[in-house]
């Protein structure tokens, strides 16, 4: 009888230990612990206690390392960009497809729909689950010379591309420019030292990567978003309580307004002289080029076709008169 009681006690102790086990979440923030992403993660960790998680946050200034540590089990979860997260979930990672979500309103709608229980199955891929969809903001083209104000003028120029994103070199080749491999740790330095003429980046990168140095007196930022860069919270689902992912996704979706306010604040801090507003006819050229590239990259297996179809439906819900809504090739 004593042995039986001892076994029960051990079993209960084991259960208690399992429920109290900490989860390590690795947070990519180029500024580190003092950045906005890490601040949001701290608020999230407090909320997650209500869902049975006890999260220990670690700041990473190198996104590649955060993703690798998630892969090898050093992290139970990681907050990284959708571009880097595509390797864990191709469907969700295709949210960042070029030209697929160019305005904030459409992006919010897409993220909110994907955070509903109806989309839960698509959030899981093998051992990984997307436990939150946020945004890092629009990706703009930073150009070293304002004379590069059309796609035609980008031909022959050196463009920084993230080598781990197969889509970027193909896009650059399409406009006749030269792709130069960069990563988060050196993209700013290469632009600032004029090793590259153009770098696509979110506005939140302007200060930490000192992109104003590369812009100087001649440079500018093309005020036409290529896409919205999503932020993915990816977890190893066996390390978190049952039902955690859905509760998490819904809470993160409820914070989107706060995230967009942060991005808006950053945009307002950019000196007016740097913004380059391109004429409507050139905007149409951008849209057509990005659409053709998106279709081509989907056929090549880089973007997920189901996600492309979903995003088209979201865009056409927001803007039913758009020319693409009458077409059936995406």
Instruction: Return the exposure string of 244-254: e unless at least 16 CB atoms fall within 10 Å of the residue's CB, then b.
Output: bbbbbbebbbe
Rounded to whole angstroms, the Cα distance separating 272 from 261 reads 19
Instruction: Say whether both 318 and 264 belong to one domain.
Output: no
Instruction: Say whether both 9 and 119 belong to one domain.
Output: yes
pLDDT digits (tens, 9 = 90+) for 205-221: 999 899 999 999 999 99
- Closest listed residue to residue 141, CA positions, set 61, 219, 63: 219
Query: What pLDDT sits at residue 18?
Result: 43
Instruction: Say whether both 131 and 65 belong to one domain.
Output: yes
As for how many domains the chain has, the answer is: 2
Tell me which residue range forms the domain holding 197: 139-227+273-326
CB 227 within 8 A of CB 99: yes
Instruction: Say whether both 118 and 223 belong to one domain.
Output: no
Residue 199 φ then ψ, to 5°:
-140, 130
Instruction: Say whether both 245 and 145 belong to one domain.
Output: no
Query: What pLDDT sits at residue 117?
Result: 97
Instruction: Say whether both 107 and 216 belong to one domain.
Output: no
Instruction: Say whether both 190 and 76 belong to one domain.
Output: no
Instruction: Say whether both 264 and 211 belong to one domain.
Output: no
Rounded to whole angstroms, the Cα distance separating 147 from 312 reads 33
Rounded to whole angstroms, the Cα distance separating 107 from 310 reads 12
User: Residue 41: pLDDT band by 50, 70, 90 thresholds?
Assistant: very high
Instruction: Say whether both 21 and 148 belong to one domain.
Output: no
Q: Can you give the CATH number for the domain in which 220 is found?
A: 3.40.190.170
DSSP symbol at 270: S
Q: Can you give the CATH number for the domain in which 40 is found?
A: 3.40.190.10
Instruction: Tell me the mean pLDDT in the region 300-311.
Output: 95
Better-predicted residue by pLDDT, 307 or 8: 307
Instruction: Say whether both 32 and 71 belong to one domain.
Output: yes
Query: What pLDDT sits at residue 14?
Result: 44
Tokens of 116: 């509903």
Instruction: Say whether both 99 and 7 belong to one domain.
Output: yes
Residue 277 φ then ψ, to 5°:
-90, 120
Instruction: Tell me the mean pLDDT in the region 172-195.
Output: 91
Average pLDDT along the chain: 90
Instruction: Say whether both 126 and 165 belong to one domain.
Output: no
CB 259 within 8 A of CB 159: no
Tokens 């709608």 -> residue: 109
pLDDT digits (tens, 9 = 90+) for 83-123: 999 999 999 999 999 999 988 889 989 999 999 999 999 99
């Amino acid at each position: 009888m004593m042995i039986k009681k001892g076994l029960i006690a051990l079993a209960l102790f084991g259960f208690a230990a399992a429920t109290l086990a900490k989860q390590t979440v690795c947070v990519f923030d180029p500024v580190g612990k003092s950045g906005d992403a890490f601040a949001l993660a701290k608020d999230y960790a407090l909320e997650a206690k209500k869902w049975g998680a006890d999260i220990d946050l670690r700041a990473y200034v190198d996104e590649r390392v955060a993703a690798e540590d998630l892969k090898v089990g050093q992290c139970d979860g990681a907050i990284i960009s959708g571009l880097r997260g595509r390797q864990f979930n191709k469907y969700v990672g295709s949210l960042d497809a070029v030209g697929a979500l160019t305005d904030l309103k459409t992006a919010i709608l897409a993220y909110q729909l994907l955070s509903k229980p109806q989309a839960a199955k698509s959030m899981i891929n093998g051992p990984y689950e997307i436990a939150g969809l946020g945004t890092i903001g629009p990706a703009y083209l930073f150009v070293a010379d304002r004379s590069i104000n059309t796609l035609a003028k980008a031909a022959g120029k050196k463009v920084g591309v993230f080598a781990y994103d197969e889509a970027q070199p193909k896009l650059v080749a399409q406009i006749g420019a030269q792709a130069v491999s960069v990563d988060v740790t050196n993209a700013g330095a290469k632009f600032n030292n004029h090793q590259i003429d153009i770098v696509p980046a979110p506005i939140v990168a302007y200060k930490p990567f000192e992109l104003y140095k590369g812009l100087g007196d001649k440079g500018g930022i093309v005020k036409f978003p290529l896409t919205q860069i999503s932020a993915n919270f990816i977890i190893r689902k066996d390390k978190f309580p049952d039902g955690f992912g859905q509760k998490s996704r819904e809470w993160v979706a409820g914070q989107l307004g706060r995230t967009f306010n942060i991005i808006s604040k950053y945009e307002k801090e950019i000196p007016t002289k740097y913004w380059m507003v391109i004429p409507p006819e050139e905007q149409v050229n951008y849209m057509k080029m990005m659409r053709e590239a998106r279709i081509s990259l989907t056929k090549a297996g880089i973007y997920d076709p189901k996600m492309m179809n979903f995003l088209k439906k979201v865009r056409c819900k927001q803007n039913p008169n758009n020319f693409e809504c009458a077409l059936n090739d995406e």
